[in-house]
Amino acid sequence: MQNQYPLWKYILIVVVLIAGAIYALPNLYGDDPAVQISPRHALADNAIKEKVENGLKEVMLKPKLVSLEQGKVLVRFDNQKQQLDAQKKLTKLMGDGFIIALNLAPATPDWLKSLNALPMYLGLDLRGGVHFLLQVDMKSAISQSLGRYVGDFKTFLRSKKIRYRSVLIQNESIEILLSKKVNPDEALEYLQQEYSELKFAVRQQNKTNAIFANLTPVTIKSEQKSAIEQNIITLKNRVNELGVAEPIVQRQGSDNIVVQLPGVQDTAKAKQILGATATLEFRLTHGSYTDWSAASDSGRVPVNARLFKQRSGDPVLLKRQVIVTGDQIKNAAAGFDGESGTPAVFVDLDGKGAKRMQKITAANLKKQMSVVFIENRTTTKYVGDKPIKTTKKVSEVINIATIQDVLSHRFQITGLDVMEARDLALLLRAGALKAPVEIVEERTVGPSLGQDNINQGIMSVQIGMALVFIFMLVYYRLFGLFANIALVTNIALIVALLSLIQATLTLPGIAGIVLTVGMAVDANVLIFERIKEELRNGMSHQAAIKSGYEKAFTTIADANITTLIAAVVLFSFGTGPIKGFAITLSLGIITSMFTAIMGTRAIANLVYGGKNIKKISI
């Protein structure tokens, strides 16, 4: 009997349809406007949750749900106005020890989450999101570059047996104060031969010969370019670590970087990770606790030391010379110390950093070494209804330990809690910033604007499908209805696949779906026209249906495979929205092959298969 599928094919189609319905369903539930409360140096607990709930009750705000999720308090609301009002209240209530951020929390039911059925990501142009403009601190980049030369100069001068009093950074120059009996011209010649990228000059400084070293304009330009390029790479790595889909990280102007995070509304984690400099410095301590307190009380700091604060607020004097910086770290992983069981970050240094760490620790056994964590911290205070943002550079000593053994490639940092260890490892693993960055502009693309784009995109798909439906029904009658059913199924399967792989849908992605609608119908048109041609040639109705599907398959496959190749090339070499277009187009090609060929034939087999028919509606 002609035009009948075996049972397994019908079961396969039913299974695909059920799975497609389940994984497309989460997209119908939408998102809840939410406020996320994250402690800066700890995990949120029930006490913090209760404080949030009581604070909202005082201002008569009724949240939809308050929950603890992954060490943060998430407060869901029914509308955006409640969300914004709650953000202002909680910012005043919780203080600087917390990060208060807007968020969009998926409203997917728990039974769908248990099946890993989650809504697909929407791009910045659809769902809204956050736009950051980061400014790279070029002065700091130059200062760090000069700082690296300070230690090198000391080592080089000692190797040439040239005595010096001090090597210090003074007003964007390095001042080398020579001993009185040293011939400055001889020292100058050695330095010029070894450091040709620098410009040197001999001057009298307090009746003592001094050599001043400056970066040349070419070197300064190279350092600034390197700072921008390395920061872009590092920020991309950090965004990838955060799991944000389809981000945009690109240069703007001479010292700015644009970061767009689609699908989020200024999450706390994004601000914390992107805004942090992730700069680590390893330094030896200077003096004793008595010296630290005296320096803090009097404000008099020794020339070769700097005054820092520990997390506890206690002062500590550290030597100016930096042993190793964050850019010499190859890898970092969070874990627990084998002896104490406390959280730790296990650090791997590159060859240069390991060599220097080994040399310094070997010469300073039983002495103390500290770890300084540097970040730019932004706080928001409300003056009336107007938010005022202030940014300050915070340098904290997170760890002071006695050097028990000679350290080299691998060692660990302790003195952190679990969350800090995890975040610090993430930052170090993503790479250290070449220079600190500051968030100078923060713009949220609201969900209302994104909703307008979604509505327009949906309307374009609806209009396109409606016109296709009418044409197929009028021109191909019952077979046109088969094609329309397959077309609706095709759209549902595309949405299901986008959700399953957690891809990002953007406006160009919607364009890819619209194009897929046309391609899916095109496959049916080829099949139906072939059936009509076979009927005109006198073939029986059953044979015509079979011949139409079989003979049109090669043509359809060739056309779709060539389009799929083009989509793969777009995905490989494109970025951002272009990739979004390529993904939806590729998925659409796969699903349309299934629905247009296997799907419509299954319906045709159910209606006409195995029957003695004298007429078909086509």
DSSP letter, residue 196: T
Confidence bin at 20 (pLDDT 50/70/90): very high
Does the pLDDT at position 273 exceed 70?
no
Amino acid at 319: K
Amino acid at 317: L
Tell me what the mean pLDDT of segment 252-270 comes to. Answer: 73
Q: Is the separation of the CB atoms in 551 and 603 below 8 Å?
A: no
Query: pLDDT value at position 551?
Result: 86
DSSP secondary structure string for all residues of 53-79: HHHHHHTT---SEEEEETTEEEEE-SS
Structure tokens at 209: 């010969």
Tell me what the mean pLDDT of segment 526-533 comes to. Answer: 90
- Using CB atoms within 10 Å of the CB of residue 307, give its burial: 0 to 12 exposed, 13 to 18 middle, 19+ buried: middle
Tell me what the mean pLDDT of segment 347-371 comes to. Answer: 86
pLDDT tens-digit series, residues 144-180: 778 778 878 888 888 888 888 888 888 778 888 888 8
Confidence bin at 29 (pLDDT 50/70/90): confident
Tell me what the mean pLDDT of segment 430-453 comes to. Answer: 70
Element at 500 (helix H, strand E) = helix 447-500
Average pLDDT of the chain to the nearest whole number: 82
Query: pLDDT value at position 71?
Result: 79
In whole angstroms, what is the distance from residue 525 CA to residue 163 CA? 89
Query: pLDDT value at position 278?
Result: 54
Q: What percent of the chain has pLDDT over 90?
A: 8
Q: What does R_g of the chain's alpha carbons equal in angstroms? A: 33
Query: pLDDT value at position 380?
Result: 63
Count CB-CB contacts under 10 A for residue 20: 21
Element at 578 (helix H, strand E) = helix 577-593
| Domain map (residue ranges) of the chain | 7-26+446-608, 31-106, 139-219, 276-443
Confidence bin at 321 (pLDDT 50/70/90): confident
Does the pLDDT at position 404 exceed 90?
no
Does the pLDDT at position 542 exceed 80?
yes
Count CB-CB contacts under 10 A for residue 163: 12
- Using CB atoms within 10 Å of the CB of residue 330, give its burial: 0 to 12 exposed, 13 to 18 middle, 19+ buried: middle
CATH number of this structure's domain 276-443, picked from the four choices 3.30.1360.200, 3.40.50.11540, 3.60.15.10, 3.90.950.10 = 3.30.1360.200
CATH number of this structure's domain 31-106, picked from the four choices 3.30.70.260, 3.40.228.10, 3.40.47.10, 2.60.120.330 = 3.30.70.260
Confidence bin at 259 (pLDDT 50/70/90): confident
More confident residue, 69 or 21: 21
CATH H-level, domain 7-26+446-608: superfamily: Multidrug efflux transporter AcrB transmembrane domain (1.20.1640.10)
Confidence bin at 497 (pLDDT 50/70/90): very high
71 Ramachandran zone, left/alpha/beta (phi>0; psi -120 to 50): left
In whole angstroms, what is the distance from residue 419 CA to residue 154 CA? 39
Tell me what the mean pLDDT of segment 264-274 comes to. Answer: 61
Q: How far is residue 508 from each of residues 45, 229, 384, 580, 582, measured CA to CA in Å?
A: 42, 28, 41, 7, 9
pTM of the model: 0.57
- Using CB atoms within 10 Å of the CB of residue 106, give its burial: 0 to 12 exposed, 13 to 18 middle, 19+ buried: middle
Phi, psi (degrees; rounded to nearest 5) at 448: -70, -45
Tell me what the mean pLDDT of segment 198-222 comes to. Answer: 84
Does the pLDDT at position 577 exceed 80?
no
Does the pLDDT at position 17 exceed 90?
yes
Element at 10 (helix H, strand E) = helix 7-24
Query: pLDDT value at position 5?
Result: 84
Q: Is the separation of the CB atoms in 465 and 80 below 8 Å?
A: no
In whole angstroms, what is the distance from residue 170 CA to residue 174 CA? 6
Q: If you search the block for the tokens 């056994």, which residue do you land on?
A: 365
In the 3-class helix/strand/coil scheme, how is 111-166 assigned residue by residue? HHHCCCCCCCEECCCCCCEEEEEEEECHHHHHHHHHHHHHHHHHHHHHHCCCCEEE
More confident residue, 466 or 461: 466
> If we measure between CA atoms, which residue out of 57, 63, 1 comes closest to residue 34?
63
Structure tokens at 495: 């949405």
pLDDT tens-digit series, residues 39-95: 866 678 888 999 989 888 888 888 888 988 877 888 999 887 888 888 888 888 887
Confidence bin at 307 (pLDDT 50/70/90): very high
Architecture of the domain delimited by 139-219: 2-Layer Sandwich (3.30)
